[in-house]
Structure formats: structure tokens, C-alpha cells
Structure 1
Amino acid sequence: MKQTRRLIVGISGASGVVYGIRLLELLRDSGIESHLVVSRAARATLAAETSLTLADVHGLADHYYAADDLGAAISSGSFPTMGMVVAPCSVRSLSEIAHGVTSQLLTRAADVVLKERRRLVLMLRETPLHAGHIRSMLAVTEMGAIIAPPVPAFYSRPQTIDDIVNHSTGRVLDLFGIETMAVKRWGGMSAALDEV
């Protein structure tokens, strides 16, 4: 029997909720089953940064879970997934994951992904960083996570915010072997010079 390909998407309270929303849209189009958890803080960010409701965002996912539902399927290692992306990832969520604090479902699911040796990608949204933030990034990296801040690539000559968001989220999905048409690939310096 073929196993369903599932990816967990966590949306934390950092600015950049559009990254989590776009990931859900790209996953829907790719045929990957999405499992969503939105932190309590992310609800306020969603209201501040978009005109979407929480129900709208839930509608983009195949399955969604309440932030405090520590008994959800994604809180168990016996529930097979490809891993998890936290997009955006707040420093608070990063710190909880780095120190094994699982007070909410988002950080519990991330902890499970790490203990099961699955891929965890954190789209950290914070700047500037102090030494404590950097130590937390090192800790989760040593535990097997990947820190992937949404840094725009200007070689693709983005024209809109959507172009920038698509590139960052597409590159994150590359880490799971999920191909989307969201990324304009680098063709080398000679290709870039041909366009000049």
C-alpha cells in the first residue's frame, strides 16, 4: 500500500504569515496532504497582515488542529509525515523547539519531527539577532533542523511581493523534494549575462 505524502505546516506569530499561507497553496497544487497548526499569537498576525480569517486559512489545509490540541495526530511519532515547516517561525517558537519546551501543539509537533529524524525547516523571521537567538539556531541545527530564513533572491528579478514569497516558499519545498513552478532557477552567470 502506498503511503500518503504528508507535510505539517506550522504558522507562528512572527511577521510574514503570507509564507505559511503560500506554502499551503503550493502544497494543495502539488498533491501533498497538508496538516496545519496555527499558534495563538499567529491569529493576531493574520488579522494584522491579511484580510483572511482563520477559517479561510484552515480551508487551505487538508487537516488543521487547534493550537492547544496536544493529542492531535501530528503530536505522535507514529503518525508518518515527510516533516514540518514553520513559516514564519518566531524566535519564541525557535527557542521552545531548541530547548524541548512543548507547551503548544506547534512546538510539540516540531519536537516529534526532530525525535523521529524527519526534516524540520524553520523560516525564521527576526532581525537583528542577539547571541541567544544565534545559540538557539545552532542548537536546533545540531538537532537536525534547517534554518531557512525567507531571504529574497534578486537574480530572479522579482517584480512583486508575490514573486519574492513564491521564491522563498518554493526553495523551502525543494528541501523536501517537492517540485513547484514557484522558483525561477539560477541558470548560471552566462545565462544572466545573455539577458543584459
Structure 2
Amino acid sequence: MIGMGSSSRPRDFDPKQVTPEQAISYFTTYLEKWRTAMDLNQPFYLAGHSFGGYLAGNYAVEYPQNVKRLLLLSPIGFSFMPEGWGPEAWDAEFDNQWSLRRSLFKFGFRHKYSPFDLTSIVPRGRLLNFISGFARRHPVNSSSVQILTDYMYQIFSRPGTSEYGLMVMFEVGIVPRVSLSEGDRMGDARFKVPLTFIYGDQ
């Protein structure tokens, strides 16, 4: 997916100038451009995990004729904002459980700043030490720690795209501003793309 992992990081996405619907269209349009470039003229299997699942679901809504089956792996984006629960309620919740980390998270999310923005000001050595420590805490063998560290450094130090899209499409708390369950999306009875949900680790 554009803006993720080793994919291209276009610079033409301004999270402060687009609506949630425009942000969704931005990413689904790039996926459709990829399909065309790959000459995929037959319906194909499309899988997406977490935020990628949300984008894959929106692609299937917009281009159902291209998707043979949609596989969503622990996707986000199907919930609705609970009644009486919105930005003001989130602010109150964060204020009641104040911490520097929570305050920075709320500020960054609301003002469209990514934690990866820090990679441009944090010294390379300190960033590598942080990433290496993270890699060692995960179930990889010792020979893979350096590979994972190098990979994560390359990802984190590249220009951001998808994380800014997430901030436009979701509220603090990862509640979608445009839910896939809405009647004009996958909640539409006319949505006929075969669908598989996968959750858990077993």
C-alpha cells in the first residue's frame, strides 16, 4: 500500500487540507493505479491488516468488480462513535488520566504530527539504539535482530504518508470518522463482495 513499509512515500498528501472522504479516496485511487499498472484484469484476492484492512475495505466498496474475495485481518474502522462520546469526551478522559505520554499523543493526533517526525531531529545513534532495544524485546533470534533493526530504521526515517492519513480518517481512540459499517459502504445490502474476517492469533 502506498505510504507504508517499503512502498513509495508521495509528498502530495497534506493531512491538514483534506476531508476523511478525500483521504480515503487518495489511498484507494493509488491502489487502483497499482492494479492497472500490474495488468490485473481479473478479480483478485485482496487482504488487509488493521489500518490496511480499513483501506482494503474501502477499495472493495469503490471497486467491487475488481475484488474476488476480501480478507480482513483484525481490521479497524467498523465501529461507530458511541452516542455522547466525541472529542470533548475524549479530552475529559485524557484529562482524568493525565500523563505526558497521553498529552503528547492527543496533541500529535489532533494536530497531525507523527511520532516518526522525531526521526528528523533525534540523533541517528540514539534512534538506532531505541529501535534495536525494541527489536530485542520481540521473538526474533539474535541473527535477525540486526536485520529487523535496519529494516525498521529505514521505514521510520522515510517521509510519512499513511500515518497522516490515519489521523484524518480516525478520531483519537481509533474511532473512524467514516465507518465501513455505514449504509453507503459495507453496510449496504448491495455490497456483495465475498468477505472473510480473521481475528486472534490461533
Q: Give TM-score scaled by structure 2 length.
A: 0.29
| Structure with more strand by fraction | 1
- Structure number with greater CO (CA < 8 Å, separation at least 6) is 2
Computing the radius of gyration from Cα coordinates, the structure with the larger value is 2
Q: Give TM-score scaled by structure 1 length.
A: 0.29
